[in-house]
Amino acid sequence: MYKPVVDFIKSQFPSQDFIPLHEPRFIGNEKKYVNDCIDSTFVSSVGKYVNDFEKQIAEYTGAKYAVAIVNGTAALHMAMLVAGVKRDEIVITQSLSFIATCNAISYIGASPLFVDVDMDTMGLSPDKLKIYLKEFAVKKSNGFSYQKTTGQKISACVPMHTFGHPCRIDEIATICNEYNIALVEDAAESIGSRYKEKHTGTYGIVGAISFNGNKTITCGGGGVIITDNEALAKRAKHLTTQAKVPHRWNFVHDEIGYNYRMPNINAALMCAQLEELDSFLDNKRELSALYKNFFANGEIKFVSEPAHSKSNYWLCAILLPDKKSRDAFLEYTNDNGVMTRPTWALMNKLEMFKNSMCGNLDNAQVLEDRLVNIPSSVRIKK
């Protein structure tokens, strides 16, 4: 039954027997820049590539500042710390997300509170957020919002741009503003994705992007935070470099910091990958159009980019009619050389977060049951 799907996917990646979900492509100046970095001996946290990378990311995303970080999880941790999240506070996020979002919240000692996603964007739903806050949040005279039943401060909201599709981030920003909740964007998956022309990660006070090996562009492991707030960028740079007080030779540190700065050797790889980004995005968009056309008339629905947005189509996604057919599809494709994956188990079902507070999560449940990611790598053209 799913043979035509497997045949179609294989026809898009003809030189490969096994089709992975998302492979990196190193077809430009990667080796040149990495060799140059090695020759310079500046392979660690100081060097020209790490500074160049930050400049280029700021320019590309339109953010005023970028701070290079070792990976996306650490970037999210930093983003929430500098946004002001503290121990025992609440951070609202979506239950349909990768574990890193909740891990970063937990590193601070804060607790996630799960709100549903929209079916079309697969990202945090502004309508469901509004409903939750209206019922369960109270704004106190100090200007901050608190969860009514536990009395905990709701200090941040972390929507995620799922598989690269932007969520309704402007509406979420308006709601966060009204309740005085810091908006931190998990843009880990959405380098190159724009909502109403503005790059994802630039709507909130700070955004975090990942350059893990499975992402659209990668340096093995890497991340960045972007922000328009100079003080916040400075603080992030300070905290990620062991909170060392700048001095020519003295080692003095003024608070507990982190060894979170992206090494120059990774940044060298990033600089080369950034040169390829626009052509990778075109290539992936072309593949998404072919998938959309292929799935146009059957029972499997292709998930297109939402209104008002330009997605990077990091991982293409389809919806099967139900969980049973999803499982059959996963089994057939993975048995026949095509890597496909269901979405993540919902965060509120994991042992660590099963007692977390939740709103209604109907859409996330539908996506958990029916969504499958299909191969989405940049295709190499002869």
Binding of residue 223 to ligand PLP (CB under 6 A): yes
d(CA 13, CA 18): 9
d(CA 45, CA 49): 10
Nearer to ligand PLP, 212 or 348 (CB): 212
Positions 126 through 185 that interact with ligand PLP (CB under 6 A)? 160
- 152 forms beta bridges with none
Instruction: Return the biggest CA–CA distance within the chain.
Output: 68
**How many residues make contact with ligand PLP (CB under 6 A)?**
15
Read off the DSSP letter of residue 153: B
Residue (of 269, 222, 267) closest to 31 by Cα position: 269
Binding of residue 101 to ligand PLP (CB under 6 A): yes
Nearer to ligand PLP, 147 or 162 (CB): 162
Nearer to ligand PLP, 56 or 103 (CB): 103
Place of tokens 């309508």: 127
Q: How far, in whole angstroms, is CA 128 from its chain's centroid?
A: 21
Helical ranges in 63-191 per DSSP H: 72-83, 99-108, 126-136, 169-179
Q: Which of 111, 202, 212, 288 binds ligand PLP (CB under 6 A)?
A: 212
Binding of residue 58 to ligand PLP (CB under 6 A): no
**From the CB of 76, what's the least distance to ligand PLP, in Å?**
6
Q: What is the DSSP string of 46-99?
A: -SHHHHHHHHHHHHHHT-SEEEEES-HHHHHHHHHHHHT--TT-EEEEESSS-H
Place of tokens 């601070």: 108
Nearer to ligand PLP, 216 or 288 (CB): 216
Nearer to ligand PLP, 6 or 315 (CB): 315
Query: How many Cα atoms sit within 13 Å of 164 on the Cβ side?
Result: 25
Binding of residue 98 to ligand PLP (CB under 6 A): yes
Nearer to ligand PLP, 162 or 241 (CB): 162
**From the CB of 177, what's the least distance to ligand PLP, in Å?**
23
Q: Which of 9, 76, 172, 239 binds ligand PLP (CB under 6 A)?
A: 76
In three-state secondary structure terms, 370 is helix
**From the CB of 74, what's the least distance to ligand PLP, in Å?**
7
Do residues 318 and 301 touch, judged by C-beta distance below 8 A? yes
Choices 86-94, 96-104, 137-145, 332-340; region in contact with ligand PLP by CB under 6 A: 96-104
Q: Which of 188, 232, 364, 367 binds ligand PLP (CB under 6 A)?
A: 188
Binding of residue 186 to ligand PLP (CB under 6 A): yes
Binding of residue 71 to ligand PLP (CB under 6 A): yes
Do residues 78 and 225 touch, judged by C-beta distance below 8 A? yes
Residues that bind ligand PLP (CB under 6 A): 71-73, 76, 97-98, 100-101, 160, 186, 188-189, 210, 212, 223
